[in-house]
Amino acid sequence: MSEDPSAGSTDLHFLLEGRTRLAWTKRDYPPDSADYLERRVVAVPGDLRAHMLRITLALSEPGRTRLPGVLADLLIVLDGHGAALKARLLRSLAPLLDERLHALFTPCSLTPWSPALVALDGCVLGLGVSGDTQLEWPAAEESSCIHR
């Protein structure tokens, strides 16, 4: 007779239900969760839940070094849509983003070919650059699609 893993007798960190859904059971994420979620976002870029889990995980990491790249991946996928979600995320994460990152994230959309994405740790949907590309951050005073 097999034991039910959700009964509490084992140290359960996550359940895979029907091979398609990941349900976290604790706040202390397993060490390979970031890798799993990165692979999930690359395989299914439109998986909003995976993007939000990556943001939550990045916020729980010491130093939060992956947060800008993880946020960039979500903004690439939104591609100008989801203005309310984008505005809410940027407003709540503003204290954690410096001016140049905030300026990068406030245009209507990011593309996978944006040269600034190369410098962001954790960004898996950026396609990189080729040739003699100069990395330039947008000025903080440039126009934005989000009205504050």
pLDDT at residue 29, as a whole number: 64
User: Which neighbouring-strand residues pair with 24?
Assistant: 14
Grade residue 10 by pLDDT with cuts at 50, 70 and 90: low
Between residues 136 and 2, the one the model is more confident about: 136
**pLDDT tens track for 84-136:** 888 888 889 989 888 888 788 876 667 788 777 888 888 999 886 555 555 55
DSSP state string for 79-142: TT--HHHHHHHHHHHGGGS-HHHHHHH-SS---TT-GGGGG-TT--S-----SSPPP-PPPTTS
Between residues 87 and 19, the one the model is more confident about: 87
All structural domains of the chain with their residue ranges = 5-119
**pLDDT tens track for 36-65:** 899 999 999 999 999 999 998 898 888 899
pLDDT at residue 46, as a whole number: 92
pLDDT at residue 4, as a whole number: 53
Q: What is the mean pLDDT of residues 134-147?
A: 51
Reported pTM: 0.68
